[in-house]
Chain A
Amino acid sequence: MNEKQLEDHFNEKIDKDIRIEPKDWMPENYRKTLIRQISQHAHSEIVGMLPEANWISRAPTLRRKAAALAKVQDEAGHGLYLYSACETLGIDRDTLLDQLHTGKAKYSSIFNYPTLTWADMGAIGWLVDGAAIMNQVPLCRASYGPYARAMIRVCKEESFHQRQGFEIMLTLCRGSKEQKKMAQDALNRWWWPALMMFGPTDADSPHTEQSMRWGIKRFTNDELRQKFVDVSKPQADLLGITIPDPDLKWNEERGRHDFGKINWEEFYNVIKGNGPCNKQRIDARTKAWEDGAWVRAAASAYAEKRKSKQQAA
């Protein structure tokens, strides 16, 4: 088959919702876009471990400590599943990590915000994981097989994360005056960055159309953001805390909430590297990787020695 026929065949499969598998022919741009998207997601998972890992040692009860550890560990697992999916596209994990450490690859800018109080563990679970799930569930039907399968696993595991976050918020909101203040403060700081997680407005996302055509994006940024606002507002009411947006109100006509304007300048500024924790996060990841080099080398050397011993025997 020539290029044109291959491409037609590929498009036909996409149209029929038949999954693309690693060895199948795919347009170079599809491969590149997938690598970018999946690795960004993987990076987000492992950088996302850091703000929460911050509070593992200070979790206020043993039950919370166990849940926090399990949750942050799950994120490591999710990063791993996604790196594995990415590797099926012909790029290895070390190269991807290198792109993260050198700033060539991006990750979700939300993780460049600091976790300042225990309530942030609640707010992250409730809002950040909530937003992530909204983004991720449609990707369980992504056109690329290994990606879709990784996302199914991720989503299955992710479901406890949001619940544990909301439970933390609920406990705080039903607690002492200081605890409620903590919860409100966390909502104030995380609300807008959570809305930014869905990415630029549709008007400013040039790749959306192509990605939707390829079935590696199922809803637009603005659609998902709207859905998130609609779901979160009654949850905040139930908690008895206020979303920091004076323009947030129900629009009877649209049957949806109207909400205030997002500060996109802040968004682009954080992406550019000027968020409160960008440097700290990348430094931590780089340090872990570099400090681990001798460990990885030792295990390789040991495996090699054992193999030659076995062969000699």
Chain B
Amino acid sequence: MNNWPLWEIFIRSKAGLNHKHVGSLHAADAEMAVQNARDVYTRRNEGVSIWVVESKYITASDPDDADPLYEPAKDKVYRHPTFYNLPDEVKHM
């Protein structure tokens, strides 16, 4: 059990923005993962907040399911504002 597990690192680059995946690293525990993330991924002032999650706990969608998962959303054009025609006089809607 000498191999430190892999962690996925998410960083909020400034207040108000989402945490974004930036990469991964190894650490023995969560606390160390946060410290390592600070040392590795924020050396140039890239962050104000860090999330870490052990890589094995990430569940990802299966790329083979891409069609059933994402295709059906493509033709739902009525979900987008441009689908609706309004007269030019109506501004700011």
Q: Which residue numbers of A lie inside 8 Å of B, CB to CB? A: 21, 23-25, 73-74, 77, 80-81, 84, 87, 92-94, 149-150, 153, 157, 293, 296-297, 299-304, 306-307
Name the B residues within 8 Å of A303 (CB-CB): 28-29, 32
Q: Is the CB of A300 within 8 A of B63?
A: no
Name the A residues within 8 Å of B44 (CB-CB): 157
Name the B residues within 8 Å of A307 (CB-CB): 29
Name the B residues within 8 Å of A149 (CB-CB): 23
Q: Is the CB of B6 within 8 A of A87?
A: yes
**Contact count A vs B, C-beta below 8 Å:** 52
Give the CA-CA distance A77 to B41 in the complex, in Å: 8
Name the A residues within 8 Å of B40 (CB-CB): 77, 80
Question: Does B90 lie at the interface of the complex (its beta carbon under 8 Å from any beta carbon of A)?
Answer: no
Name the B residues within 8 Å of A84 (CB-CB): 6, 23-25
Q: Is the CB of A296 within 8 A of B25?
A: no
What are 6 inter-chain pairs, A to B, with CB distance below 8 A?
A23-B60, A73-B43, A92-B3, A302-B28, A306-B29, A307-B29
Given contacts A300-B2, A304-B1, contact A87 B32 (CB under 8 A): no
Q: How far is the CB of A199 from chain B (nearest CB, A)?
A: 27
Question: Does B4 lie at the interface of the complex (its beta carbon under 8 Å from any beta carbon of A)?
Answer: yes
Proximity bits, B1-33, A CB within 8 Å = 1, else 0: 111101000000000000000111110110010
How many B residues are at the interface, by size bracket? Answer: 10 to 19
Most B-side CB within 10 Å, residue of A21, A77, A149:
A77
Question: Does B62 lie at the interface of the complex (its beta carbon under 8 Å from any beta carbon of A)?
Answer: yes
Give the CA-CA distance A25 to B4 in the complex, in Å: 28
Give the CA-CA distance A299 to B51 in the complex, in Å: 21
Q: Is the CB of A80 within 8 A of B25?
A: yes
CB-based nearest B residue for A1: B64
Q: Is the CB of A21 within 8 A of B63?
A: yes
Q: Is the CB of A153 within 8 A of B23?
A: yes
Q: Is the CB of A299 within 8 A of B24?
A: no
Given contacts A84-B24, A87-B24, A150-B23, contact A297 B2 (CB under 8 A): yes
Name the A residues within 8 Å of B22 (CB-CB): 153
Name the B residues within 8 Å of A299 (CB-CB): 4, 28-29, 32
Name the A residues within 8 Å of B43 (CB-CB): 73-74, 77
CB-based nearest B residue for A303: B29
